[in-house]
Amino acid sequence: MTQPVDKHRPAHEDAEACWRREYAEQIGPHAQVRNRSGIEVKPLYTPRDWDSARFDAQLGYPGQPPYARGIYPTMHRGRTWTQRQLIGLGTPVNYNARLLDLLAQGATAVSLIPCNSVFRGYDMDESPFELLGTCGVVANHWAHMDRCLEGVDIVATSCALNDPSPFTLLAFLLASAKKRGVDWGSVTGTSNQSDCISHFVANHMFFRIALQGARKLLVDHIEFCNTHVPRWNPMSVVGQHMQQAGATPAEAMAFTLSSAIQYADDCIARGMDPDVFLPRFTFFFDVSISFFEEIAKFRAGRRIWARVARDRWAARDPRSWRFKFHAQTSGVDLTRQQPLNNISRVTIQAMAGILGGLQSLHTDSYDEALSCPTEFGARIAVATQNILREEAHLTDVIDPVGGSHYIETLTDQMEAEILRLMKVVEEAGGMYEAVEQGIVQKMIGESARRFQRQVETGEQTVVGVNAYQVDEDASAQPALARPDPALMRAHLEAFKAWKAARSQAEVRSALDALAGSTHDAKANIFGAVVSAAEAGCTHGEICATLRRELGFGHPLLVV
Amino acid sequence: MDIRPKVLIAKIGFDGHDRGSRVVASFLRDAGMEVIYTPPWQEIPTIVKLATEEDVDVIGISSLATDHLLVPALMRALREAGLDTVAVIVGGIVPDADETALLESGVARVFHPGTSLQDIAACIHDLMPGIRARRTTIEETP
């Protein structure tokens, strides 16, 4: 069937000139439009900007280099994405109940967020009681982890543990697996946020050990997992912290790729095979409400990573070239004002991530600007994913935005900007050097201030904050979710009793071996962490030992 | 009388998200205030010590992940150290129910997400005459 053609349409050249004239007349004087990464956005894109002659070189087919269209041949039409909601509150018993509930609602993987006391490397008996369990689950030793995952098949369900250096939660999981008779070779999941640089630079939550010690531990962890837990992803390189701290989308992508390069270089220097460790690298990004820019960010990142993997480390296995990423919708874009509006924001952000080709998604709860997410808020976030996946037909076509003059132009421009920023880092001597000098922190801080200025001047509209304000309806405020103090008190007392009943000699000897491993270049420190976890050492004891030997993690602050 | 405010910006507890505290600190500095900025995870005794040594007028506590639950303990510690004149303001994610408790414990003001930086600066300027007047009274008391 041929498409009907409008005989009255002007010839192409005339048409463009005509549009230019009419546009200029009607738009009047107006400010330039720039996206968050500073790239000028034009009112219209045509084949003059991008045409399909560049199809093979820059677009191609899904599952093939340059991977602009996605890393798998089937993309979301085959296996959509992993629905991975971050959860964590209260005691392991509370956590387990909520986890089983979310899995029943459609979540397909476990994500565990520990209490901030755990984040900072402390046990519950060395933390202020009023904070325990208010932002995550209080899990301090292997049996706590085992209780968190009671009734969960840890072979069939991928576990994402928010667990960087010294990776105690994974150590607890491995100890629990052994008790359950599960072979470590069948345990799957990710050490989320194992990227120590991102914590040094931004958000700092997990920055427990001084940077160079964390650097050694990270490579040990990758090596240990590659050998003993081969289906585990030990490396999660994080752009989310930096973007939440204020980095533009291009900066966040550039700095993340620069960190990944640094980590892979370290693995190569250790003598590891790129086609063993690279397939187990994953990425974790923020996805903001700057819709098209985010889509282009992910497409550009995929192309760059595939090139770097082949050019820099001569990786041959296509699995090493694939830029696998998890995305979390941006909490910074959410507002306290008219909080239900955040459901719309999360939906738009999630769509950008999906069209950008993500592998795994966390949608924020609408109430995150008011409190730690409530169960009600988390249910809506899960439903949002179900709607996007199964009602909206977003997954019918692979890379549905591919070939758009705008998207392809923007992808090229974002790629150029990301490469420019990566060069700044490379010239500083790599990411460790750049962050130890504060170069990256300074750029992120400047971007955060610039964005805030744009909100203050009204240049950037935020509905309910600087425009369309309404009198708030107090009924929209969510009910406060806090752990039951009596349950937490019982959890604390049980923990103290458990500690007292352990074989103290075994604990002492495991911690001594752990301390010793830090002074032996040939020893694997993470291996010693796993042995300590199996011997009944607690999170706080393991962290304290490593802090003593390797130094406390002070972030470098650039204000 | 010099009423250039001296402000300590800090985070107590376990949270490390510092975008807000850094943006506020640099804005107040640009607005002509003297700002002391500290790394995250400060202990309450350290805040009290710094506030005493630096003779600050205002302490701004940033809390994004329930660390504001420690603020009543900070208020008690400040009172015990005789720092009654120092005004404490809190910014970040503070649920309404908690805000009431913070104000009852003596916090001067709680700022929520979406607050303009100008409003924070204006609040500090409004607090200043009271802070300095109270301080003068205390210093003159034999």
Please give the residue of chain A at the shortest CA–CA distance from B119. Answer: A456
Distances, alpha carbon A73 to alpha carbons A316, A322, A485, in Å? 18, 12, 50
Residue A487 is predicted with a pLDDT of 95
Count chain A–chain B contacts defined by CB atoms under 8 A: 105
* Mean pLDDT to the nearest integer, B132-136: 83
Q: A11: burial class by Cβ within 10 Å (0-12, 13-18, 19+)?
A: exposed
Q: Which positions in chain A touch B98 (Cβ < 8 Å)?
A: 480
In eight-state DSSP terms, residue A54 is G
* Mean pLDDT to the nearest integer, A154-176: 93
Contact A131 B67 (CB under 8 A): yes
Question: Is B22 domain-assigned?
Answer: yes
Q: Which positions in chain B touch A470 (Cβ < 8 Å)?
A: none
Residue A297 is predicted with a pLDDT of 98
Contact B23 A448 (CB under 8 A): yes
Q: Are residues A212 and B22 in contact, defined by beta-carbon separation less than 8 angstroms?
A: no
Residue A476 is predicted with a pLDDT of 59
Question: Is B61 domain-assigned?
Answer: yes
Can you list the domains of chain A with their CATH numbers?
52-461 (3.20.20.240)
Supply the ipTM of this predicted assembly. Answer: 0.87
Rounded CA-CA distance A533/A517 in Å is 15
Residue A340 is predicted with a pLDDT of 93
Question: Which are the contacts of A327, defined by CB distance < 8 A and separation ≥ 6?
Answer: A284, A285, A286, A287, A298, A353, A356, A358, A360, A361, A362
Statement: residue A229 has pLDDT above 90: yes
Q: How many domains does chain B have?
A: 1
Q: Which residue has the higher pLDDT, A472 or A350?
A: A350
Contact A120 B116 (CB under 8 A): no
Rounded CA-CA distance A549/A542 in Å is 11
CA distance A553 to chain B (A): 11
Neighbours of A482 (CB within 10 A): 19
Statement: residue A145 has pLDDT above 60: yes
> What are the residues facing A114 on neighbouring strands?
A137
pLDDT band (50, 70, 90) for residue B3? confident
pLDDT band (50, 70, 90) for residue A256? very high
Question: Is B1 domain-assigned?
Answer: no
Statement: residue B132 has pLDDT above 90: no
Q: Are residues A150 and A174 in contact, defined by beta-carbon separation less than 8 angstroms?
A: no
SS3 content of chain A, % helix, strand, coil (to 5): 55, 10, 40
The answer to which of A368-382, A433-447, A518-532 has the lowest mean pLDDT is A368-382
Residue A219, CB-side half-sphere exposure with 13 Å CA sphere: 22
Mutate to test the interface with A, among B46, B66, B102 (most CBs of A within 10 A): B66
Token pair for residue A146? 């085992």
pLDDT tens string B78-92: 999 999 999 999 999
Residue A434, CB-side half-sphere exposure with 13 Å CA sphere: 26
pLDDT band (50, 70, 90) for residue A559? low
CATH code assigned at B114: 3.40.50.280
Q: Which positions in chain B touch A448 (Cβ < 8 Å)?
A: 19, 22-23
Statement: residue A525 has pLDDT above 90: yes
Contact B69 A134 (CB under 8 A): yes
- What range does the domain containing B67 cover? 6-140
Rounded CA-CA distance B40/A207 in Å is 11
pLDDT tens string A351-383: 999 999 999 999 999 998 888 788 788 889 989
Percentage, residues of chain A above pLDDT 70? 98
Q: Are residues A327 and A358 in contact, defined by beta-carbon separation less than 8 angstroms?
A: yes
The answer to which of A412-426, A438-452, A512-526, B121-135 has the lowest mean pLDDT is B121-135
Residue A472, CB-side half-sphere exposure with 13 Å CA sphere: 14
How many H helices and E strands in chain B?
A: 5, 5
Mean confidence (pLDDT) of chain A: 93
Q: Which positions in chain B touch A337 (Cβ < 8 Å)?
A: 114
Statement: residue A1 has pLDDT above 60: no
Statement: residue B1 has pLDDT above 60: no
Please give the residue of chain A at the shortest CA–CA distance from B29. Answer: A559
Residue A442 is predicted with a pLDDT of 96
pLDDT tens string A104-115: 877 778 889 999
* Mean pLDDT to the nearest integer, A290-308: 98
Question: Which are the contacts of B112, defined by CB distance < 8 A and separation ≥ 6?
Answer: A336, B91, B92, B93, B94
pLDDT tens string B5-52: 999 999 999 999 999 999 999 999 999 999 999 989 999 999 999 999
Statement: residue B142 has pLDDT above 60: no
Cite the DSSP H helix spans in A164-290.
168-180, 196-201, 211-228, 240-244, 249-269, 274-277
The reply to whether B37 touches chain A by the CB within 8 Å rule is yes
Residue B141 is predicted with a pLDDT of 64
Residue A220 is predicted with a pLDDT of 98
pLDDT band (50, 70, 90) for residue A423? very high
Neighbours of B54 (CB within 10 A): 13
Contact B14 A130 (CB under 8 A): no
Residue A372 is predicted with a pLDDT of 76
Residue A380 is predicted with a pLDDT of 94
Residue A474 is predicted with a pLDDT of 61
Token pair for residue A149? 């995952």
pLDDT band (50, 70, 90) for residue A475? low
Residue A3 is predicted with a pLDDT of 77
Residue A375 is predicted with a pLDDT of 79
The answer to which of A45-54, A343-352, A353-362 has the lowest mean pLDDT is A45-54
Torsion-angle region of A322 (φ positive above 0: left; ψ -120 to 50: alpha; else: beta): beta
Statement: residue A480 has pLDDT above 60: yes
Contact A464 B114 (CB under 8 A): yes
CA distance A372 to chain B (A): 7
Pick from A371, A452, A555: CB nearest B117: A452
Residue A233 is predicted with a pLDDT of 96
Token pair for residue A214? 């964390």
Percentage, residues of chain A above pLDDT 90? 80
Q: Which residue has the higher pLDDT, A2 or A214?
A: A214
pLDDT tens string B93-104: 998 889 999 999
Rounded CA-CA distance A11/A444 in Å is 48
CA distance A532 to chain B (A): 25
Q: What are the two backbone dihedrals, phi and then psi, of residue A191, each rounded to the nearest 5 degrees?
A: -85, 90
Rounded CA-CA distance A221/A168 in Å is 11
Statement: residue A84 has pLDDT above 80: no
